[in-house]
Amino acid sequence: MVERRHTRQIHVGKVAVGGSAPITVQSMTTTKTSDVEGTLQQIYALAAAGCDIVRCTCNEIEAAEGLAQIVPRSPIPIVADIHHQYKMALAALEAGVHGLRLNPGNIRKPEHIKAVAAEAKDRNVSIRIGVNGGSLDPSLYEKYGGLTAAAMVESALREIAYFDEVGFDLIKISVKASNVPLMVDAYRELSKVTDAPLHLGVTEAGPPPAGLLKATAGIATLLLEGIGDTIRYSLTADPVEEARAGRQLLEALGLRERKNVDLIACPSCGRAEIDVIDVARRAQEAFADKLIPLQVAVMGCVVNGPGEAREADIGIAAGNKRGHLFVKGRNVAVVPESEMVEALVEWATYINEHGVEAAIARVDTTIAEREALKDRSALLDEQGDDVNHSHDRIVNIRKNIANS
Higher per-residue confidence, 248 vs 387: 248
Kindly report, residue by residue over 321-379, the tens digit of the pLDDT.
788 888 988 888 888 888 999 999 999 999 999 999 999 998 888 888 887 787 777 76
Question: Cβ distance 302 to 292 under 8 Å?
Answer: no
Q: State whether the Cα torsion 366-367-370-371 is positive or negative.
A: negative
Kindly report, residue by residue over 221-260, the tens digit of the pLDDT.
999 999 999 999 999 999 999 999 999 999 999 999 888 8
Q: Write the DSSP string, 197-263.
A: -BEE-BTT-BSTTHHHHHHHHHHHHHHHTT--SEEE--BSS-HHHHHHHHHHHHHHTTSS---S-EE
Homologous superfamily of the 262-383 domain (CATH): Sulfite Reductase Hemoprotein, domain 1 (3.30.413.10)
Least confident piece of the model among 115-124, 213-222, 376-385? 376-385
* CB neighbour list of residue 210: distance below 8 Å, 6 or more residues apart: none
DSSP alpha helix (H) spans, 49-137: 61-70, 86-95, 110-123
Q: What is the structure's pLDDT at 107?
A: 83
Q: What mean pLDDT, rounded, does the chain reach?
A: 90
Distances (CA, A) of 217 to 172, 222, 254, 262, 285: 22, 9, 17, 20, 25
Question: Would you list the domain boundaries of the chain?
Answer: 10-252, 262-383
What distance in Å separates the CA atoms of residue 211 and residue 220, rounded to the nearest whole number?
14
CB atoms within 10 A of CB 251: 17
Question: Cβ distance 259 to 246 under 8 Å?
Answer: no
| Residue 4 DSSP label | P
Reported as half-sphere exposure (CB side, CA atoms, 13 A), residue 205 has a value of 29
What is the phi/psi pair of residue 323, to 5°? -105, 125
- AA letter at 299: M
Residue percentage of the chain with pLDDT more than 90 = 66
Arithmetic mean of pLDDT, 20-27 = 97
> Looking at the domain that runs over 10-252, which CATH code has it been given?
3.20.20.20
DSSP alpha helix (H) spans, 256-339: 276-287, 305-308
Judge whether 10-252 and 262-383 match in fold.
Answer: no
Kindly report, residue by residue over 64-117, the tens digit of the pLDDT.
999 999 999 999 999 999 988 999 999 999 999 999 999 887 888 899 999 999
Kindly report, residue by residue over 258-290, the tens digit of the pLDDT.
888 888 887 767 666 678 888 889 999 999 888
